[in-house]
């Protein structure tokens, strides 16, 4: 039997942001794969250009209001992030949220860049700190504005506009990473930061990355970058030197899915699937009372837990693992001084019943933490 990166049997996992296999539109994707081969197999089964499958490139460009030439399709969005970091950040500072996506920290370290943290909480980014470090002419600001990984928080429109004002005032390029933005459970969409920069006449500062891994299926390995014109040539060359051809067939398969009008109904299904899982986790955590805080995400896969300051989440995770529950301690999501009493909990994989049981075990362990 084929296997994938799933939790160990008998373990209730709040760890990796892995979608449940029940989230995949299997029959539709099977039909779209056949359609891609039958209708455009002579292209989809061959080597392709660095930018990827042209119809999908054009579809993404239309969604973002840019020319197709500004879109580069990549085998997942992390490859796109690494390409940008390697191009812009060696020997330079890059601003990151505290906390932030841990693989951005790894990418910066591998590229010889320096991560400079900017605190982010319920009120958004610390704009005073952002302004202070923006004056140092960093390579970019890396931000996950919607259903943030790891916290699940979303910047509202006022917070986004304030961020854009700082970026424009200090010529600060903004890398907007948005893999979860369409995975909405409730609430209203907010304007993209890249759109706000364009409206401010600073399209040259806007970089956008996303993936279809969380919205359709990670096994397709389809992500994309929307770039300012001055970066497209260099990154296209970097792609050509990194791999011989993009995976054209899954890109053609995904295009058939999108062009067939299947995305919006599928996103609605995802919201209905994830809502009871998120709500079950929140309901369990509400029993912890004072001294413990947690986010209430409007979408995405993650919830952020802030424990009493004396609690070491890494030690708690070891005790939880022994009780058949896993999660990710929060310290690894920080550049600089970490907050060791934090944790990221994913609610995308387990069933509602498993979440209730796993959260009950975790709550008991938190209550008895030394």
Closest alpha carbon to 125 in 164, 86, 85: 164
Q: How far is CA 28 from the centre of its chain?
A: 24
65: left (phi over 0), alpha (psi -120 to 50) or beta: left
In sequence order, the 6+-apart residues with CB closer than 8 A to the CB of 321 are: 11
Backbone angles phi and psi of 145, in degrees to 5: -75, -25
DSSP classification of residue 72: E
The mean pLDDT value of the chain amounts to: 95
Cα separation, 135 vs 318, whole angstroms: 42
Three-state SS for 159? helix
Residues linked to residue 12 through DSSP beta bridges, in sequence order:
325
Closest alpha carbon to 48 in 247, 203, 196: 247
- Does the pTM surpass 0.85? The reply is yes
Predicted confidence at residue 1, as pLDDT, reads 39
Instruction: Answer for the pair 84, 106: CB distance below 8 angstroms, yes or no.
Output: no
Closest alpha carbon to 336 in 18, 119, 59, 75: 119
Instruction: Answer for the pair 65, 111: CB distance below 8 angstroms, yes or no.
Output: no
> How many contiguous H segments (helices) and E segments (strands) does the chain have?
12, 14
* CATH 3.90.1150.10 given to domain 12-25+264-367: yes
Terminal CA-CA length for the chain: 43
Along the 370 residues of the chain, how does pLDDT read in single tens digits? 344 456 677 789 999 899 999 999 999 999 999 999 999 999 999 999 999 999 999 999 999 999 999 999 999 999 999 999 999 999 999 999 999 999 999 999 999 999 999 999 999 999 999 999 999 999 999 999 999 999 999 999 999 999 999 999 999 999 999 999 999 999 999 999 999 999 999 999 999 999 999 999 999 999 999 999 999 999 999 999 999 999 999 999 999 999 999 999 999 999 999 999 999 999 999 988 778 999 999 999 999 999 999 999 999 999 999 999 999 999 999 998 899 999 999 999 999 999 999 999 999 999 887 7
Domain ranges of the chain: 12-25+264-367, 46-259
**C-alpha torsion sign, points 240, 245, 250, 252:** positive
**C-alpha torsion sign, points 98, 82, 298, 226:** positive
Closest alpha carbon to 94 in 32, 152, 175, 27: 175
Predicted confidence at residue 154, as pLDDT, reads 98
Cα separation, 98 vs 267, whole angstroms: 29
Instruction: Answer for the pair 214, 184: CB distance below 8 angstroms, yes or no.
Output: no
Predicted confidence at residue 95, as pLDDT, reads 98
CATH architecture assigned to 46-259: 3-Layer(aba) Sandwich (3.40)
Predicted confidence at residue 3, as pLDDT, reads 40
Predicted confidence at residue 7, as pLDDT, reads 64
Predicted confidence at residue 2, as pLDDT, reads 45
Instruction: Answer for the pair 164, 205: CB distance below 8 angstroms, yes or no.
Output: no
Tokens of 40: 């455009």
């Amino acid at each position: 039997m084929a296997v994938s990166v799933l939790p160990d049997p008998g373990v209730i996992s709040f760890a990796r942001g892995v979608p449940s296999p029940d989230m995949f539109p299997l029959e539709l994707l099977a039909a779209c794969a056949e359609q891609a081969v039958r209708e455009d197999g002579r292209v989809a089964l061959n080597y392709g250009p660095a930018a990827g499958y042209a119809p999908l490139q054009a579809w993404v460009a239309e969604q973002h209001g840019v020319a197709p030439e500004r879109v580069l399709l990549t085998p997942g969005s992390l490859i796109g992030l690494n390409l940008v970091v390697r191009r812009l950040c060696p020997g330079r500072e890059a601003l990151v949220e505290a906390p932030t996506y841990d693989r951005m920290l790894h990418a910066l370290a591998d590229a010889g860049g320096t991560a400079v943290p900017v605190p982010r909480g319920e009120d958004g980014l610390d704009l005073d700190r952002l302004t202070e470090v923006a004056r140092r002419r960093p390579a970019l600001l890396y931000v996950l504005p919607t259903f943030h990984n790891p916290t699940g928080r979303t910047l509202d429109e006022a917070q986004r506009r304030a961020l854009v004002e700082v970026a424009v005032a200090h010529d600060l390029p903004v890398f907007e990473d948005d893999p979860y933005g369409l995975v909405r459970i409730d609430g209203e969409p907010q304007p993209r930061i890249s759109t706000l920069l364009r409206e401010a006449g600073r399209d040259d500062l806007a970089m956008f990355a996303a993936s279809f891994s969380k919205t359709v299926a990670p096994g397709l390995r389809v992500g994309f970058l929307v770039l300012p014109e001055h970066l497209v040539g260099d990154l296209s060359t970097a792609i050509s030197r990194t791999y011989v051809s993009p995976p054209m067939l899954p890109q053609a398969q995904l295009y058939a899915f999108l062009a067939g009008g299947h995305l919006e109904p599928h996103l609605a299904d995802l919201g209905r699937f994830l809502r009871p899982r998120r709500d079950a986790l929140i309901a369990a955590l509400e029993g912890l009372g004072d001294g413990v805080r947690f986010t209430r995400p409007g979408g995405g896969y993650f919830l952020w837990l802030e424990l009493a300051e004396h609690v070491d989440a890494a030690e708690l995770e070891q005790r939880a693992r022994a009780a058949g529950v896993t999660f990710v301690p929060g310290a690894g999501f920080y550049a600089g001084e970490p907050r060791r009493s934090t944790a990221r909990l994913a609610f995308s994989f387990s069933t509602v019943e498993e979440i209730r049981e796993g959260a009950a075990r975790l709550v008991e362990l938190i209550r008895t933490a030394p």
